[in-house]
Amino acid sequence: MSESDGANIRLSITIVLIGIVIYIIFSFSEECCNDNWILLDEKGLKKDLTQKLFGQHIASDVILKAVVGTLRGPVPKKPLTLSLHGTSGTGKTFVSQLIAKNLYKNGMSSQYVHVFVSTLHFPHLKLIHQYQNDLQTWIRGNVTICPRSMFIFDEMDKMHPGLINAIKPFLDYTTQVNNVDYRQAIFIFLSNTGGDKINEFTLGVLMNGMERESIKLNQLEEELSLMVFNNENNGFWQTCLIQANLIDYFIPFLPLEFKHVMRCVKAELESRGIINNNILFTITSQMEYYPKEEKVFSMKGCKTVPSKVNLVVN
């Protein structure tokens, strides 16, 4: 072996090594559809659901089981579809964020997480055909790029039936639609549908001197499905998706009580480095509660907490 052969070999090895290093750096900095970027943090999700979500014993339990069960097991027969129900401020959006945070390294800012808000993204009735096409193209396109994509649909109860029909084929048991496999995708639907019924039921339970924690999922499921089949409250989308058995889990969010709002306020204050029981109590008391007499539940849940904190703290 001549001296120049040795030099060549060293040069080649160096180039290969540099290539490997560049590849490693690149694959860690650019989000990809692989386990480096998408991996369920089971412990993290459990911790978040028990420590950051307040007053939702059913939701935390069902969501943990649903998400862990689906993502840890073998590839499911259909995409995971969760339908979250409850009045505003009870934590539906927050829970979707917790799921995203513990599944995607980039959380909600991951390019594989897509949020659609009916009134924001699909506001004009006359553009419905355009929206249908767009939505189908986007779902297909994004799942083609990454099978483990997540789609969150907010304000489902305000969604045009035509759009619901556009989503429907993707949720079904067919393993492939036009050569794209949707089984690893996750669909989360948020709505107020059934919220009033859930609140009524919860009020009844509390008025009977029982704990909200005594409420079982099947009690509320019964209420919800009754309502769906009576087609109240823009229940169309549910009728459409439920009758076809496309929703895997119905997840009720209970109305929040004073003590839960207090925990939201406390968390918000702490995130700003403020620990002050006076302020905590003042803000919590300033939220509005109903029914008029009993003042049991917060009208807006925890939704307006950050702005209330802003007002008082500044």
142 counts as binding ligand NAG under rule CB under 6 A: yes
Stretch that binds ligand NAG, among 78-86, 139-147, 189-197, 245-253 (CB under 6 A): 139-147
Return the number of the residue (6 or 123) whose C-beta is nearest ligand NAG: 123
Rounded distance between C-alpha atoms, residue 265 and residue 279, angstroms:
9
Rounded distance between C-alpha atoms, residue 194 and residue 207, angstroms:
20
Cβ(287)–Cβ(262) below 8 Å:
no
Tokens of 100: 């995203």
Return the number of the residue (137 or 282) whose C-beta is nearest ligand NAG: 137
Stretch that binds ligand NAG, among 22-30, 44-52, 135-143, 235-243 (CB under 6 A): 135-143
19 counts as binding ligand NAG under rule CB under 6 A: no
Return the number of the residue (57 or 121) whose C-beta is nearest ligand NAG: 121
In angstroms, what is the minimal distance from the CB of 246 to ligand NAG?
21
Return the number of the residue (7 or 145) whose C-beta is nearest ligand NAG: 145
Cβ(64)–Cβ(219) below 8 Å:
no
Stretch that binds ligand NAG, among 55-63, 138-146, 257-265, 300-308 (CB under 6 A): 138-146
177 counts as binding ligand NAG under rule CB under 6 A: no
141 counts as binding ligand NAG under rule CB under 6 A: yes
Cα 301 from chain centroid (whole Å): 17
In angstroms, what is the minimal distance from the CB of 79 to ligand NAG?
16
Beta strands in the chain (DSSP E): 80-85, 113-117, 150-154, 176-177, 180-181, 186-191, 249-252, 289-290, 297-298
Return the number of the residue (84 or 115) whose C-beta is nearest ligand NAG: 115
In angstroms, what is the minimal distance from the CB of 270 to ligand NAG?
33
Return the number of the residue (160 or 212) whose C-beta is nearest ligand NAG: 160
Applying the rule CB under 6 A, the residues between 102 and 121 that interact with ligand NAG are 114
Residue of 219, 283, 295 lying closest to 257 (CA atoms): 295
In angstroms, what is the minimal distance from the CB of 178 to ligand NAG?
13
Rounded distance between C-alpha atoms, residue 241 and residue 10, angstroms:
63
Residue of 92, 132, 76 lying closest to 248 (CA atoms): 76
Rounded distance between C-alpha atoms, residue 287 and residue 308, angstroms:
8
Rounded distance between C-alpha atoms, residue 99 and residue 50, angstroms:
13
Residue selected from 138, 236, 258, 290 as contacting ligand NAG according to rule CB under 6 A: 138
Cα 135 from chain centroid (whole Å): 19
Binding site for ligand NAG (CB under 6 A): 114, 137-138, 141-142, 145
